[in-house]
Structure formats: structure tokens, C-alpha cells
Structure 1
Amino acid sequence: MVQFRLPSIPYPPAQDHGYWDPITSTLDWCEENYYATTYSAEIVNSVTNLMFVWLAFVGIYNCLRHGHDRIFLITFIGYLIVGSGSFAFHSTLKYPMQLVDELSMIYTTCLMTWATFEHKRPIWVKTVVALLVAGLALFITLYYHYLQDPSFHQNAYAILTAVVLIRSMYIMEVNIRPHFRKRHQEHEKVQASKATSEAEKLEERRQDDRDRWILKKMWIMIAFGLTIFLGGFGLWNLDNIYCQKIRTWRHEIGLPWGILLEGHGWWHLMTGLGAYFYIVWGIWLRHCLNGKSDQYQLSWPSYFTSIPRIVRDETRQNGTYKKNS
């Protein structure tokens, strides 16, 4: 029986030495070292970080063009450093580059932590929150450098991300949804009054439709972002647990198809996209909290072939709200 086999080329042998020798990082991932080029220790794990770089420039451009809050511009710059640091780390497997990669993840998440807890607070509260977050970042930096235990960094990052995500969901539901409900009830009372014009009733219904649509789209963004992020996390863990078996499979199917079995590369692609979804959601949430729901809209033409952006709203025409799906 003839077995079908995709055309492929054999994997070149892994090399113990390369341009960036010696390896000083505390981590060495499942991708074999220096098999493709002497100038990159882990070529797939390096190149997949270009997803971060591209999305960072998309985010920075949109922040500048559409006037989003400065904290999100800074966050996207931090996001760019994460991708660039990870590229350098996987290319060199040097400990200083490992710190740039891992600590920039912590610092960028700390920025989002501050943005989440300081909004519309008195200046003294903003200052206290800033000092607490800065102190936390410093503690994680020093303690991680002392321990040099990757699990500490991974746990710290996971906890920070969960705190920010849960806090943002809480703000969305508690600060926004009750506000919409209360306003809707007030509109119903006003509509019962003969003093309310037909034009005012139409505008109130438009606002209610808009508010329901915004909440629906926000939850869709959360679902997409979490699914992509957790999916990448799952593939990365499979890569860690079954590394030897996966390496065998890669060599059996050859290049370029073996690249599809690089779990840590998928982690970069999927967590980069998932994190981008979260930042964009945060931008939209901030505009809604600032009472600018009519000034900005979600631009997401296709769930599966495009990425979401928050842009200045030009869809409101003739008193109607045109939903951009």
C-alpha cells in the first residue's frame, strides 16, 4: 500500500554552538537550537514575535490618529517592547534578553493595572495606586532576579493579567450596565409624559439600542480574546510536556510542515493577538466610561479575517445609529 506523503525536506541537525554562544538564559524551549541558521538560536520562536511588532504599530497608529488616552499609547509601546524583547531572547538565548522579554510583560500589565484602578479617582488616589503598582513591579523584578525561577514570573504575570481582566469586567458590568438600565427606566418615565416630543423619543431609543449593541460587542471581544489567549497557553503547555515526542514528529514530517508543531511559536501568535484584543477593549471601555459612546465606534468588519479597532464615530447620520459589525 502506497502512503501519501507531503513533499518536504529533512530537518538540518541542531547545533550546540551558534553566533550568540554561550547560552546564558535559564530557559531553553522545545525548538531545537541553531538548526536553520547560526544567527538565530530559535528561528520560529523568534519570527513569530513579529505578530507583536505588527499589532503594536497598528495600535500606536490608531492611538495617535483617533485620540485615545495616552495610557494606551504607552501600553502599546510596552507591547512593542515585549515583542522585540522576545525576538531578541529567542534569537540569542541570553539572560539579559530573557529579562527584557519577561519583565516587559510584567511592566506592560502593570500599566494596565494602574489604568484600570486609577480612572476617575482623586489625584491622591491616583498617586497611591501608582506607587503601589510601581512597588509591585520593583518587587517582582528583584525577587525574580534573585530566584531566577521562571515559574515565579509566569505565576506573577498570570495573576496580574487575571486581576486586570476581572476588574475591567467588573467595571463594565457595574459601572456601565446599571447606568444604561437606569437611563432606560428614566426614558420610559419621560416617554409617558406628553411633554416629550417624538424626536426626543427616537433619540432615546437610539441611545438604548446603541448601549445594548456596545455591551454585546464588548462581550464578543472578551470571548474572542480569552479563547485565543487560552488556546495559545494550552498549545505552549503541550509543547513543554510532550517536547521529545513532538520533536520526533517534526523530524518525521520534515520542513516546512514541522513548523506547525512549534507550540511556543503558536503561543506568541495567539497571546499576541489575545492581548491586542484586551487593549482595544480597554480603549473602548474607557471612552464609554468617559461618556464618549457616540464619539467612538468599533471597526471590526469580519470576526475571523480582520482585527478590531476603535475609531472616531462617523456612522451617526440623520439621527440614526448605524451599527458596524
Structure 2
Amino acid sequence: MTGISRRTASKFVFHKETPQVVSEDGRAKTWIVRGGNFAISVSEVEEGAVLSRGDNPEEYMVILPPRSASITVAADGASIEAEPDSLTIVPPGASQITVRSPGNVVQIFSKAATDILALAANASVYADGAPELAPVDLWPEPKDGYRIRHYQLAQYLNPNGDRIQPRCFRSTNMMVNLFGSFLTRRETNLLSPHWHDDFEQASLCFDGRWVHHIRYNWGADLTNWIPDDHAEMETPSVVIIPAWAIHTSRDVGEDGPESSLFDIFCPPRMDFASKPGFVLNEADYPLPVMESEQRTKTGGTLLSWQKSN
């Protein structure tokens, strides 16, 4: 049984909105939208633009969609060159992104980056603190310590594989599922309506046209019911789907042009993380020890994983 929907989805088509941040030199325009536990920052950048974090409290992710910018990421005395169609996980602390060729740069921050969340276009939506969401706890640190981790995404695609090819990665504080681009449209009899009890889902799209079908759950008061949402969205765009809202996504139009879908969750999803082989960088990050395991290990004393690691 699902709960009552507390809020509607935040829907954001970037080029139709005013950017929240414009750099002093005009080389970077940044749009920010948030969920209860995360913020998505999409920057349109020119060569020479710099995106810096002075002391970010937790890891954050950098996504370069296909046909996007080329950048250099520097943190903790190391640097890497990132090309389009890649994911980079940046360690806590100071970091800098320097743009080598123009395009788009996506950064995903956790709730700990309070300055970023405060700038979000939809910040007022979460003025109540999103009490319907599960508390956010950091998962265990990487096995070999915090550092820049970089993944070229093309290597995880099977050109002869299924239409839907998930590419799931996680860090200590978030998870992304970066589906391979779609060249054919989703059949209307193969949709997957579902809901999440205590976490949100952000669906970020850079190509194609999308309908994110959303049905909000009813309470006893008819005057508070929210109509179904089947609005078509241009790209690049993002939708933040609330907890308890029934949803499924479908790319629309003719077959041929690419469409893209990146799903974002914060904190990571245990159901995905606990499936062997599903999270492609699972070797880098230990799983939390769950309470049931702790009871076994400690003779019945209930401990959280933070207290035992």
C-alpha cells in the first residue's frame, strides 16, 4: 500500500528557464534543480570556463553526455581528462573543472552541499524538509580511499544487446543509472509503472522527447487529489519524481533519432546495490552492513554500520 503524495513533480526544461548562476566571464551558465536529498547542476560552458568547489563536504558526480564538453577534473593533487559520454566521481574537498571544449557539464551534489541546494530554481518546494524521505546516511568509504574515479561509458554497452541497457554506478552518497541511448521508441505495451516508498527519482534527459507518466496517490480528502500528468517534455530537461507517485517514462516520436535517460538517486538504492554485477563499480565501494547482519555479529545488540566500521 502506498502513501499519500505530498508534492508534485518538479519539471524543468533548461533552455526555457533563466540560469541560476552565470560566471563573471560569461563562459558558464548554470541551471540548478533539486530533490529532497540532492541537487542537479547543468552548465552550458565555453572553452576556458572553470567550475570550482572550495571545500565540498562529500563526493559528487560529473556526467558528460554524448556530444558534450571535454574537461579536466582536478582534486586532491590529481587530475584526469574527461571526454563526452563519461562519468567522474570527485572526492570530498576542493576541486576544479576546467573546460577544454564547449558543451554541457552535469554535476550532481548531495544534500550536504547546502549552498548549491539553496540556489535551486525549485528550492521552495522543499521548505518543509521532505519528511516523507528516508534519512540520508553515508555508505562506507571506498576500499582504497577517496580519489577521482573516472568511467568511460561506451565500454559498458553491448551493440547487439537489448534496447534497454542500464549502466549503474554509485558512490558513498548517490547512485546513477545511465542508460545507453535509445534509437527505437518504447512500445506502449512494455511500460513499467512503479513507485518508491521513501525516496525520489530524478530522470535527466538530453536527447529526444519524453513523457514521464505520473499518477499521484489519493488521500481521503477529494479536494487534495492531484490529476494524472502525461505532459510531453523537450530536452535537455529533468523531472524530479516524488516518493509514492506511480510513474513510468516513455520516449516518443519516430524511430531513428537518439533519446537518452539518466536516473539519479540519493542515497544509493540498496535493491540495486545488492544485486551482484548490477552496479558496475561495485568493487570500489563496500556495501553497508545491514542491521540484521549486525544483530547476528553482536549477539543481539542492534548497531548501525557506522558504529562498527
Higher helix proportion:
1
Normalised to the residue count of structure 2, the TM-score between the two structures is: 0.25
TM-score (norm 1): 0.24
Q: Whose radius of gyration is greater, 1 or 2?
A: 1
